[in-house]
A and B are shown apart, each in its own frame.
Chain A
């Protein structure tokens, strides 16, 4: 069940220029949150009225905390980054269908988590849960430069490989180059592997290509401009191969049926 509530900020910090972390006292939302789901954050006034969808980076069900790591891109996220511990923020969540979709699929023992830039944060909770579930967890993380974020946290749960745009750390190139260079999907391992990804569209398209070429089960998290965040406005749709549940056309709602989709379902 989604909740709309004002929450207290327990921690707010800058991880690197333009990347912020915020931990919220979010008892109810933390209990229900799953990897790949997101929350909507609201600005304090109606001059910027639409919610900002932010992926869930981590939850601690025992302490009831929710951690978000986000990039400041405009007025709303800049307002959030200016808040301090003790301030409050209005939150709606948890929203969407996350990587629980993968569980409906194969029981492949090897899980490759691919995060690009600000698509890295949701991979942390996923790595934690899959590690606890006993899977072999590998993370392939794409950064612009050697100035990484969340890499230490990820290393607690996954064997990490890094790709950078400028070659200053790890593989020089994309996350797909890193997957190939490190032979992370050896011949014959296709059926034992699941890829879960979040990142920019060119990265997701590249992974879809790899998934088709190697026939590896791949799930991606999509982003789109949103308005309501609850599935009512039909602003954030993505074209799908099968008929959608809401309008019976071919438009799944990223905020409801998504944000995580099996790439085979998408019209990439």
Chain B
């Protein structure tokens, strides 16, 4: 039975990765999960310099999901390269570094710096809804996506995955823009912008007023978008949005994702990623699927 997939030229032992921002750099979750059993670890977004992030409250629960407005707090690439990358390198898993920036120049500098490291893939976060500069301001403009993709590809050593926002009229336009700019893959969806009011305090539940909605509530939107993008682009898709079990992951693969990222579900069950790997294998056995690649995009 083959569970390995090829994501933009990198062979993953299975299609299960973690979603950026929910799993740190794997250090905290390594108490619960054998990281070597995962297809890859996608790190929390990292920028060239440390970012302080937003004021609290930064998270709020909603029915079937949650809102977050962390604001991409991160230690910057110096600490990340000294501490987090060597930690992840101890495991037999692909290292996918999520990169954020306030400007095109910052993305380029970060990608340049990461070219000297052993990271396997880079995921470029142009879709964070919780930061004022960079983030979603770039991810909702097709021309800007193409321009940034081209700029980072020029200096990149690793394959580039552009992470797309669902907060657009037509996500396939954004995916095509990334492909035209030379992206090796796209990942989708980032969180959906939302809001919650705390009726007892009579104010916003999040200090940032708005936040990104994630969790099982957004899964049908994500599956639909992965399917639509799969019909339009030829580059592979890393699918995510509300995956909480093997059945959810299989929906994304069948809709056209080559691999999936599991995010918010880690907060409900820190062992969930490993359980999803096992669940996919059990499904394949039960249905006599020899190669997982038979399932990718099998629903047309």
A residues with a Cβ closer than 8 A to B are 1-2, 4, 42, 46-51, 92, 224-238, 246-251, 256
Please classify the interface of chain A as helix (H, G, I), strand (E, B), loop, or mixed, using the class held by over half of its residues. Answer: loop
Known A50-B59, A50-B268, A233-B59; further 4 A-B contacts with Cβ < 8 A: A42-B268, A50-B267, A225-B60, A236-B58
Instruction: Tell me whether A225 and B31 are in contact (CB under 8 A).
Output: no
Instruction: Tell me whether A234 and B70 are in contact (CB under 8 A).
Output: yes
Instruction: Tell me whether B61 and A251 are in contact (CB under 8 A).
Output: no
Asked if B21 lies at the interface with its beta carbon under 8 angstroms from chain A, I say yes
Q: Could you tell me the distance between the alpha carbons of A248 and B76 in the complex, rounded to whole angstroms?
A: 9
Q: Which of B25-60 contact A (CB under 8 A)?
A: 27-29, 31-32, 44, 50-53, 56-60
What is the size category of the interface that chain B forms with chain A?
Answer: 35 or more
Residue of A nearest to B25 (CB): A232
Contact of B266 among A46, A47, A228 (CB under 8 A): A228
Instruction: Tell me whether B216 and A46 are in contact (CB under 8 A).
Output: yes
List chain A residues, Cβ under 8 A from B60. Answer: 225
**Known A233-B70, A247-B73; contact A47-B52, beta-carbon cutoff 8 A:** no
Instruction: Tell me whether A224 and B244 are in contact (CB under 8 A).
Output: no
Could you show 9 A-B contacts with beta carbons less than 8 Å apart? Answer: A2-B32, A4-B32, A46-B268, A224-B56, A225-B59, A232-B22, A233-B70, A235-B56, A235-B70
Contact of B215 among A49, A234, A251 (CB under 8 A): A49
List chain A residues, Cβ under 8 A from B76. Answer: 248
List chain A residues, Cβ under 8 A from B29. Answer: 230, 232
Instruction: Tell me whether B63 and A48 are in contact (CB under 8 A).
Output: yes
Instruction: Tell me whether B61 and A49 are in contact (CB under 8 A).
Output: yes
Asked if B271 lies at the interface with its beta carbon under 8 angstroms from chain A, I say yes
Residue of A nearest to B271 (CB): A4
Quote the shortest CB–CB distance from A121 to chain B (angstroms).
22
Q: Could you tell me the distance between the alpha carbons of A2 and B44 in the complex, rounded to whole angstroms?
A: 22
Residue of B nearest to A248 (CB): B75
Instruction: Tell me whether B28 and A225 are in contact (CB under 8 A).
Output: no
Q: Could you tell me the distance between the alpha carbons of A4 and B270 in the complex, rounded to whole angstroms?
A: 8
Instruction: Tell me whether A225 and B56 are in contact (CB under 8 A).
Output: yes
Asked if B203 lies at the interface with its beta carbon under 8 angstroms from chain A, I say no
List chain A residues, Cβ under 8 A from B21. Answer: 233
Instruction: Tell me whether A247 and B50 are in contact (CB under 8 A).
Output: yes
Asked if B79 lies at the interface with its beta carbon under 8 angstroms from chain A, I say yes
Quote the shortest CB–CB distance from A219 to chain B (angstroms).
20
Asked if B64 lies at the interface with its beta carbon under 8 angstroms from chain A, I say yes
Contact of B56 among A92, A230, A232, A236 (CB under 8 A): A236
Interface centre among A2, A4, A46, A249 (most CB of B within 10 A): A46
Instruction: Tell me whether A248 and B64 are in contact (CB under 8 A).
Output: no
Contact of A235 among B32, B50, B59, B64 (CB under 8 A): B59
Q: Could you tell me the distance between the alpha carbons of A6 and B36 in the complex, rounded to whole angstroms?
A: 25
Asked if B125 lies at the interface with its beta carbon under 8 angstroms from chain A, I say no
Quote the shortest CB–CB distance from B200 to chain A (angstroms).
10
List chain B residues, Cβ under 8 A from A248. Answer: 50, 75-76, 79
Instruction: Tell me whether B58 and A234 are in contact (CB under 8 A).
Output: yes
**Known A49-B265, A233-B70; contact A227-B51, beta-carbon cutoff 8 A:** no
Instruction: Tell me whether B73 and A237 are in contact (CB under 8 A).
Output: yes
Q: Could you tell me the distance between the alpha carbons of A84 and B249 in the complex, rounded to whole angstroms?
A: 35
List chain B residues, Cβ under 8 A from A228. Answer: 22, 28, 266-267, 270
Instruction: Tell me whether B216 and A251 are in contact (CB under 8 A).
Output: no
Asked if B264 lies at the interface with its beta carbon under 8 angstroms from chain A, I say yes
List chain A residues, Cβ under 8 A from B266. Answer: 228, 232
List chain B residues, Cβ under 8 A from A234. Answer: 44, 53, 58, 70, 73
Residue of A nearest to B263 (CB): A233
**Known A230-B29, A232-B22; contact A49-B267, beta-carbon cutoff 8 A:** yes
Interface centre among B21, B64, B65, B73 (most CB of A within 10 A): B73
Q: Could you tell me the distance between the alpha carbons of A250 and B216 in the complex, rounded to whole angstroms?
A: 33
Quote the shortest CB–CB distance from A156 to chain B (angstroms).
35
List chain A residues, Cβ under 8 A from B138. Answer: none
Contact of B50 among A2, A238, A249 (CB under 8 A): A249
Quote the shortest CB–CB distance from A42 to chain B (angstroms).
6
Asked if B74 lies at the interface with its beta carbon under 8 angstroms from chain A, I say yes
Contact of A51 among B64, B216, B264, B267 (CB under 8 A): B267
Instruction: Tell me whether A230 and B31 are in contact (CB under 8 A).
Output: yes
Q: Could you tell me the distance between the alpha carbons of A227 and B70 in the complex, rounded to whole angstroms?
A: 11
Q: Could you tell me the distance between the alpha carbons of A159 and B52 in the complex, rounded to whole angstroms?
A: 43
List chain B residues, Cβ under 8 A from A48. Answer: 61, 63
List chain A residues, Cβ under 8 A from B44. Answer: 232, 234
